[in-house]
Chains A and B, each alone.
Chain A
């Protein structure tokens, strides 16, 4: 059994970000949300991105999730240059390579768990029988095999987040991008969700956790701290980091 302290060799690079910047124009003012961020994320890493509000944490997450493109810099996702993709190409990357888990779950309220989880498969053009089969499988994997025909308002918060995680997993993505996944849950349920993420990590998934809670970030094997649009610290928590200076997990 693997422990939290075991050291694993890193897999191939999934995300390779070099010197990206992002400027927003707010009225007359230009807000420099990211001022040159470098980041490499390998397959089967469990990384937490932390930082106070205004640190550029959300902006970086949007970049990583291919929801937005950088103003300058290079972003390679599985060796493909994402920075210059158009809307539809980005949509295809999000569909196949990225599984989103949101703080507010973002389930479609009038659809059953099954239909919610089917959605990415529809956008991927999978045929109906395969979709139901696959979605049922993934829902069973996250412990909701008996809730597939329930609608979100018939589920508890923890169950809703499980549906959302199943939806994130259903297309077999390269990364799971979880934005404050426990933010709307009580601590006990939150802990259950973190256990589920831990379990997914152990099964070989790459997980990127965006949070401002230290307790939650502590689940990750590596923590990146952002401040004022720059990476302030990149600790290799419990996994050997090769190309970044190693710091200790003492202060942020």
Chain B
């Protein structure tokens, strides 16, 4: 055990000496890993950023709210079955709220309508898109601003008075206990069927959605972006690994006589194997550190220049890229190190 420790520390020293004495070669070889690690790390931060962005958008929807809509929140193949459904009307909310109030122990709290009434405004040569137009008269007083993605909250009465005419709306229903979402959903389905007056044999002609359903549709998309991205950037790291493998093979060839000498002095196969594995790993770790530093600077720069760009650097990512570097080193060093450890000492000593 002690012996292994001494051999390991010796191997690290040799690796460091090797890198110093072959500086150009080591730098160029490490460059492959540097680029690979930068690519993988940046992809990682982007995936992280996208994921965080998704969650943020999702949080706006709220996880204790059910959404009654004409179209379900998942892709449908038989779109024609949904197209002809009746629109959801703003005044459903009044009926629903009455029913909720009349139900003892209801899982639902309140229903409110929401409507998408974005407009583009033109004034002279200027145009602003996606603005909520309160009107051209001064019937409304804006009493406060809060950062809620381009939304306006107003009294229901006012909403009905000014907007119900255009109401092709959705209904949001707040749930009392979000751990009992399924019950709430069943209850709301029942209420909506009563509102629509559907006989029992007919199918629902509306959709009830929740954030979770939305998330489970988006998660696979998010994951496939992550997998595809990491795979493609991983290829650049693979190219770097091949560079390391190549240079380690060259190193083994160059130092065949040294390997023979070491074996004559009592180095076992394991000793030689470890030595070259550590050399390739040291090279990869060096590349990994430098790559990570660059990636961090780039993230920092991008974050400063484009604050909205979804990029997120995390400590986990640092550990991950270090582990990836080590694995790359072991992977690329294994074949050459194995070859070295199996060299016949007699032939190795005679090698010029």
Contacts and interface: CB of A to CB of B under 8 A. Distances in A.
A110 B10 CA distance: 13
Interface residues of A, number: 28
Contact of B265 (A110, A119, A125): A119
Interface residues of B, number: 25
Contacts of B7: 122-123
Given A106-B261, A125-B2, A128-B6, A91 B349 contact: no
Interface stretch (A94-102, A184-192, A204-212): A94-102
Interface of B: 2-3, 6-7, 10, 17, 21, 257-258, 260-271, 344-346, 349
A128 B6 CA distance: 8
A123 B267 contact: yes
Contacts of A110: 17, 21
A120 interface: yes
A94 B258 contact: no
B258 A91 contact: no
A91 B267 contact: yes
B264 A65 contact: yes
A152 B226 CA distance: 54
13 contacts: A62-B346, A65-B264, A67-B346, A87-B268, A87-B269, A88-B268, A91-B267, A92-B268, A94-B265, A110-B17, A120-B265, A125-B2, A125-B6
Interface string A89-119: 0011011100010100010101100000001
Contacts of A127: 2, 6
B268 to A, nearest CB: 5
A171 B258 CA distance: 19
Given A122-B10, A125-B3, A96 B17 contact: no
A30 B270 CA distance: 32
Contacts, number: 70
B349 A67 contact: yes
Interface in A129-144: none
Contacts of B258: 106, 108
A74 to B, nearest CB: 20
Nearest to A131: B6
Which 3 A-B pairs rank lowest in CB-CB distance, beginning with the nearest?
A95-B266, A125-B3, A123-B266
Contacts of A67: 263-264, 345-346, 349
B180 to A, nearest CB: 66
Interface in A53-67: 62, 65, 67
Interface of B is mostly: helix
A124 interface: yes
B251 to A, nearest CB: 13
Contacts of B21: 110
Contacts of B263: 67, 91, 94
Nearest to B263: A91
A160 interface: no
Nearest to A106: B261
B325 to A, nearest CB: 25
A94 B262 CA distance: 10
Given A91-B268, A95-B266, A119-B265, 11 more contacts: A62-B346, A65-B264, A67-B263, A91-B267, A94-B264, A94-B266, A110-B17, A123-B7, A123-B265, A125-B2, A127-B2
Nearest to B271: A123
B250 to A, nearest CB: 17
Contacts of B267: 91, 123
A54 B345 CA distance: 20
B272 to A, nearest CB: 10
A100 B10 CA distance: 21
Interface string A177-218: 000000000000000000000000000000000000000000
Nearest to A126: B6
A123 B263 CA distance: 10
A96 B3 CA distance: 14
Nearest to B261: A106
A83 to B, nearest CB: 16
A17 to B, nearest CB: 17
A91 B264 CA distance: 7
Contacts of A167: 265
A106 B349 CA distance: 9
A228 interface: no
A33 to B, nearest CB: 11
